[in-house]
C-alpha cells in the first residue's frame, strides 16, 4: 500500500545530570570538588533512504525516543552522551510540526537533518568552585531533550508530472518511454499509486517522469484519488497534460482539459502558473477534424500541443525532446526551507510556574516552558534579548526570583543561560 502521510511523535534524549563529588585520596587533604558533567542527550536525526518509497513503516511505529545522556561521576568523569536515533525516510519527505504546520526539514538531499536536539548535560560541581566557594555542594541537572508531534508528508521528486483524467494513457506513456512498468488496464483508476520512471534520450540527456493517478472533477476537495496524490505534482518542474483527444469514453476533450486545470488551481494556485505541455493521446481513434479542432483550442490558450499515440510510441519523441529542452531552462526541483520557530507575542504569555533552587548565590530556574522560549531567542540580537527580558517579567519569573531573596549581582541560571541579576 502506498502511504504518503503519517503522524508520529519524536523525543530527544535528556541530558545527564552533573555530579556532586569531592576528591578523596590518601595524604591529600581537602582535595576539592571533582564531580564530572552529564552527557548530552541523543538527537533524533532524519536520514534519506532510497530503499524506501513510502511512509508505510510509520503506520505501525509512531513513537521514536533517543537515549538519554549518562550522569556525571566522581573523579571528574563525564557521563557518556546518548547515541543519536536515526529515523530513515524516503527521499522527498517533508517534516512538519503537527500543531503549527511549521516546516522543520525537507529530506530531499543526502544530508542528515537533526529534528529534535538532545538536552545538554548538566555541569558537575567542579565548575562552581571559586576562591570564596571552595566546596560547592550542588551541580546542574541536564536539560530535557526536544519533543515534537510531527506530520510526515511525502512529495515525490520528479521533473515532469503527467496529469489528466483516468484512462487517458498516462501509464502507457510512462511504460514506453522509461523502464517503469505501471499496471495498465482499460478501466478507471488502474493506477492507484504514483509511478516514477527515468526517461533517457539518445543524446544522453535524462529526466524523471511521474505518472500521477487520474484526477477527476472535485479532486481538489478530495473526490476520487486526486486529493491524496495532488501533493506529488507540487514539486514537478513541468506538467504534461494528457488528454483523450478522441473523446473515446464519451467525454468532451475540451471540458476534460478545463476541469483538470481548475482542480490543479484549487489545490495550489501556483500549479496554474507551472509550465505545461498538452499531449493529445489516442489520435488513432480520432478524426483529423477532432485533432485539429482541439489543437486550435489549446494553442489559443497559449499551450504547445503534441498529438501522440502512446501505445505504439507514435510521435512521442518530439514531445520528449521538447520536455528536455524546457527542463534545461527551468529552475531545479522545488525545495522547502525550514521555518524558524516564531516568537510568541509577550501579551499571550500568562504567569507560569517555575522551580527556583538557590545554591551559594546562584539561583537556578527550571520550567519546561522556558526551554521553548530560549529556543526562539537569538541572544546575539538586542531586540530578541529585550523580548526575552519582557517574557521573564510578564510571566512572573523576576517576581519569583525576588521572592526567593535574590540580590543585585547574584547569578541567575536558566538551563544553559546565565546572567547577573540587575534591578
Q: What is the rounded average pLDDT of the residues 186-197?
A: 59
Q: What is the rounded average pLDDT of the residues 199-224?
A: 71
Best CA proximity match to 239, nearest among 266, 270, 284, 202: 270
Of the CA atoms within 13 Å of residue 279, those in its CB half-sphere come to 29
Return the percentage of the chain with pLDDT > 70, whole number: 90
Q: Which of 6-10, 216-220, 276-280 has the lowest mean pLDDT?
A: 216-220
pLDDT digits (tens, 9 = 90+) for 312-364: 999 999 999 999 999 999 988 888 888 877 777 766 666 767 888 887 778 88
DSSP 159: S
Which residues lie closer than 8 Å to 293 by C-beta, 6 or more apart? none
Which residues lie closer than 8 Å to 101 by C-beta, 6 or more apart? 151
What is the CA 143 to chain-centroid distance, rounded? 25
- Return the number of other C-beta atoms located less than 10 Å from residue 325's C-beta: 10
Q: Are 103 and 337 in contact (CB under 8 A)?
A: yes
DSSP 16: P
Q: What is the pLDDT of residue 396?
A: 85
Q: What is the pLDDT of residue 228?
A: 60
In angstroms, the CA 203 to CA 319 distance is: 15
Strand order in the sheet with 195-200: 195-200, 206-211, 160-163, 238-244, 276-281, 304-307
Q: What is the pLDDT of residue 143?
A: 86
Residue 366 corresponds to which cell in the numbers above?
A: 527550571
Q: Are 295 and 305 in contact (CB under 8 A)?
A: yes
Q: Which of 28-32, 68-72, 365-369, 404-408 has the highest mean pLDDT?
A: 68-72
DSSP per-residue codes, 313-347: TBTHHHHHHHHHHHHTTSPPSP-PPPPPPPPPPGG
Q: Which of 136-140, 217-221, 285-289, 375-379 has the lowest mean pLDDT?
A: 217-221
Q: Are 276 and 163 in contact (CB under 8 A)?
A: no
Could you tell me whether strands 417-420 and 304-307 are parallel, antiparallel, or unpaired per DSSP bridges? unpaired
Q: Reduced to 3 states, what is the DSSP secondary structure of residue 307? A: strand
Q: What is the rounded average pLDDT of the residues 295-320?
A: 93
In angstroms, the CA 38 to CA 43 distance is: 15
In angstroms, the CA 113 to CA 383 distance is: 29
Q: How far is CA 385 from CA 10, 223, 380, 388, 417, in A?
A: 29, 49, 8, 5, 12
Could you tell me whether strands 63-65 and 195-200 are parallel, antiparallel, or unpaired per DSSP bridges? unpaired
Q: What is the pLDDT of residue 2?
A: 58
Which residues lie closer than 8 Å to 252 by C-beta, 6 or more apart? none
Q: What is the rounded average pLDDT of the residues 370-383?
A: 81
In angstroms, the CA 276 to CA 207 distance is: 16
Residue 379 corresponds to which cell in the numbers above?
A: 541572544
pLDDT digits (tens, 9 = 90+) for 132-167: 777 888 888 888 899 999 999 888 788 998 888 888
* 44, β-bridge pairs: 85, 116
Torsion of CA 395, 398, 402, 405, to 10 degrees: 110
Amino acid at each position: 500500500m502506498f502511504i504518503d502521510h503519517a503522524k508520529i511523535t519524536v523525543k530527544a534524549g535528556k541530558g545527564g545530570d552533573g555530579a556532586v563529588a569531592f576528591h578523596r585520596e590518601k595524604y591529600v587533604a581537602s582535595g576539592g570538588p571533582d564531580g564530572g558533567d552529564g552527557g548530552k542527550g541523543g538527537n533524533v536525526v532524519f536520514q534519506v533512504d532510497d530503499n524506501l518509497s513510502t511512509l508505510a513503516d510509520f503506520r505501525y511505529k509512531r513513537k521514536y525516543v533517543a537515549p538519554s545522556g549518562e550522569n556525571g561521576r566522581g573523579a571528574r568523569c563525564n557521563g557518556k552522551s546518548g547515541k543519536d536515533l536515526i529515523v530513515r525516510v524516503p527521499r522527498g519527505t517533508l517534516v512538519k510540526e503537527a500543531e503549527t504546520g511549521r516546516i522543520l526539514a525537507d529530506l530531499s538531499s543526502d544530508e542528515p537533518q537533526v529534528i529534535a536536539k538532545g538536552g545538554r548535560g548538566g555541569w558537575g560541581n567542579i565548575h562552581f568552585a571559586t576562591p570564596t566557594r571552595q566546596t560547592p555542594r550542588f551541580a546542574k541537572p541536564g536539560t530535557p531533550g526536544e519533543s515534537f508531534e510531527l506530520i510526515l508528508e511525502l512529495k515525490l521528486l520528479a521533473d515532469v508530472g503527467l496529469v489528466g483524467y483516468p484512462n487517458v494513457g498516462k501509464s502507457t506513456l510512462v511504460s514506453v518511454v522509461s523502464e517503469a512498468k505501471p499496471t495498465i488496464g482499460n478501466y478507471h483508476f488502474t493506477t492507484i499509486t504514483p509511478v516514477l520512471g527515468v526517461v533517457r534520450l539518445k543524446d544522453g540527456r535524462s529526466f524523471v517522469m511521474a505518472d500521477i493517478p487520474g484526477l477527476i472533477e472535485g479532486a481538489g476537495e478530495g473526490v476520487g484519488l486526486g486529493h491524496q496524490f495532488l501533493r506529488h505534482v507540487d514539486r514537478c518542474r513541468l506538467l504534461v497534460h494528457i488528454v483523450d483527444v478522441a473523446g473515446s469514453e464519451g467525454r468532451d476533450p475540451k471540458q476534460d482539459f478545463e476541469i483538470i486545470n481548475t482542480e490543479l488551481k484549487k489545490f495550489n494556485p501556483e500549479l496554474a502558473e507551472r509550465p505545461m505541455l498538452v499531449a493529445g493521446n489516442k489520435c488513432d481513434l480520432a478524426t483529423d477534424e477532432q485533432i485539429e479542432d482541439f489543437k486550435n483550442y489549446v494553442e489559443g490558450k497559449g499551450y504547445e500541443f503534441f498529438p501522440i499515440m502512446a501505445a505504439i510510441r507514435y510521435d512521442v519523441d518530439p514531445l520528449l525532446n521538447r520536455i528536455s529542452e524546457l527542463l534545461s531552462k527551468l529552475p531545479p526541483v522545488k525545495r522547502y526551507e525550514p521555518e524558524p520557530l516564531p516568537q510568541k507575542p509577550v501579551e499571550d504569555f500568562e504567569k507560569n510556574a517555575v522551580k527556583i533552587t538557590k545554591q551559594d548565590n546562584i539561583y537556578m530556574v527550571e520550567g519546561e516552558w522556558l526551554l521553548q522560549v530560549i529556543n526562539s531567542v537569538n541572544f546575539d540580537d538586542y531586540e530578541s534579548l529585550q523580548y526575552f527580558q519582557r517574557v521573564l517579567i510578564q510571566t512572573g519569573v523576576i517576581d519569583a526570583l525576588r521572592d526567593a531573596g535574590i540580590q543585585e549581582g547574584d547569578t541567575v541560571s536558566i538551563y544553559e543561560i546565565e546572567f547577573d541579576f540587575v534591578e
